[in-house]
């Protein structure tokens, strides 16, 4: 069988065949995209311009906002354009780019979430060693390691994915090129290699998630020993937003890749994909801004 998909490109999932609903989808996704764009840019600008926020925690938060901007820009605009132009096509090259960039941004995103959990652990459980452990050089090295590992991780996935032969049906049952949906179109036995990589990734992500949970168990144990209510409140206010962000990101993402095929339906797949690819970039700046007094104070100063 010939690799016909490489010639004919892919067809993405359309939210509806009704023109009015297509336009509604465009408007809704446009609103979501603008909220994510404004929120994350606001965090980046606030941290950059407010010198008292030049600390490890806000340095990592700024990187997280950059990654959120990148991840939502990979998937949502193409879906918006397809709805506006009443088409479903994405080129083969465009699909490769989507897979590479989305895996890159989400992989680095989770690396930073893990680093941020470690940062909070050191700050609360070992405050006397914080300046030594989380110095500027260490923060830059951790950030660089996260970005570089993301590139390697994405190259591995994308190379494995598009080394496969796609033939026959070229319809991707998702609003962007998602790996589990692309694997359904493969007609060569080498897809088992990519499945092996996915299993390894899921185990790695769950291990990092376990490390985050252990870190926060230690943090909460330490916080409960703080004698003053104000001290406990301050510690919790910096931890809860991070836990919410981690849950929004990891739970739907892992479910999308490990759920049994017996419960896999187009509607469920679509909802899960929106939950882990669209919702976190929108909610992260809102969560961090609403729960963080320092960011709110810096925003008030910047806006006069």
The model's pLDDT over 249-268, given as tens digits with 9 standing for 90+, comes to 777 877 777 776 666 677 78
Confidence (pLDDT) at 2: 44
Instruction: Using pLDDT thresholds of 50, 70 and 90, give the confidence band for residue 189.
Output: low
Instruction: Sketch the domain layout of the chain as residue ranges.
Output: 4-302
Q: How many CA atoms lie within 13 A of 300 on its CB side?
A: 7
197 vs 212, more confident: 212
pLDDT of 204 strictly over 90 = no
Average pLDDT estimate for 140-167: 88
Give the span between the Cα atoms of 276 and 272, in whole angstroms. 6
Give the span between the Cα atoms of 205 and 114, in whole angstroms. 10
The length of the chain is 304
Confidence (pLDDT) at 102: 93
Instruction: Using pLDDT thresholds of 50, 70 and 90, give the confidence band for residue 23.
Output: very high
Is domain 4-302 classified as CATH 1.20.1070.10?
yes
Confidence (pLDDT) at 6: 47
How many other C-beta atoms are found inside a 10 Å radius of the C-beta of residue 86?
11
Mean pLDDT for the chain?
Answer: 84
Instruction: Using pLDDT thresholds of 50, 70 and 90, give the confidence band for residue 90.
Output: very high
Give the span between the Cα atoms of 301 and 279, in whole angstroms. 28
16-25, 62-71, 89-98: range with lowest mean pLDDT: 16-25
With b for 16 or more beta-carbon neighbours within 10 A and e for fewer, the 44-80 pattern comes to: bebbeebeebebbbbbbbbbbbbbbbbbbbbbbebbb
Find residue 10's DSSP bridge partners: 90
pLDDT of 152 strictly over 60 = yes
């Amino acid at each position: 069988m010939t690799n016909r998909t490489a010639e004919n490109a892919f067809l993405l999932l359309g939210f509806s065949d009704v023109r009015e609903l297509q336009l509604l989808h465009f408007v809704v996704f446009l609103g979501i995209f603008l909220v994510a764009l404004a929120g994350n840019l606001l965090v980046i600008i606030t941290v950059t311009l407010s010198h008292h926020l030049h600390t490890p925690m806000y340095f990592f938060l700024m990187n997280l906002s950059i990654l959120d901007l990148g991840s939502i820009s990979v998937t949502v605009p193409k879906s918006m354009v397809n709805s506006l132009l009443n088409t479903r096509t994405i080129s083969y090259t465009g699909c490769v780019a989507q897979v590479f960039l989305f895996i890159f941004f989400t992989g680095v995103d989770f690396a930073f979430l893990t680093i941020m959990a470690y940062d909070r652990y050191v700050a609360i459980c070992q405050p006397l060693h914080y300046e030594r452990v989380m110095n500027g050089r260490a923060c830059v090295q951790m950030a660089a390691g996260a970005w570089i590992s993301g590139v390697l991780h994405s190259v591995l996935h994308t190379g494995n994915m598009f080394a496969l032969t796609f033939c026959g049906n070229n319809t991707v049952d998702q609003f962007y090129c998602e790996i589990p949906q692309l694997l359904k179109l493969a007609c060569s036995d080498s897809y088992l290699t990519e499945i092996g990589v996915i299993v390894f990734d899921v185990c790695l992500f769950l291990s990092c998630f376990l490390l985050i949970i252990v870190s926060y168990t230690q943090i909460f144990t330490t916080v409960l020993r703080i004698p003053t209510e104000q001290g406990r409140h301050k510690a919790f206010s910096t931890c809860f937003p991070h836990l919410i962000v981690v849950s929004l990101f990891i739970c739907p993402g892992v479910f999308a890749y490990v759920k049994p095929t017996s419960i896999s339906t187009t509607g469920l797949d679509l909802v899960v994909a929106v939950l882990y690819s669209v919702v976190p970039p929108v909610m992260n700046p809102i969560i961090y801004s609403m729960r963080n007094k320092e960011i709110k104070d810096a925003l008030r100063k910047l806006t006069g």
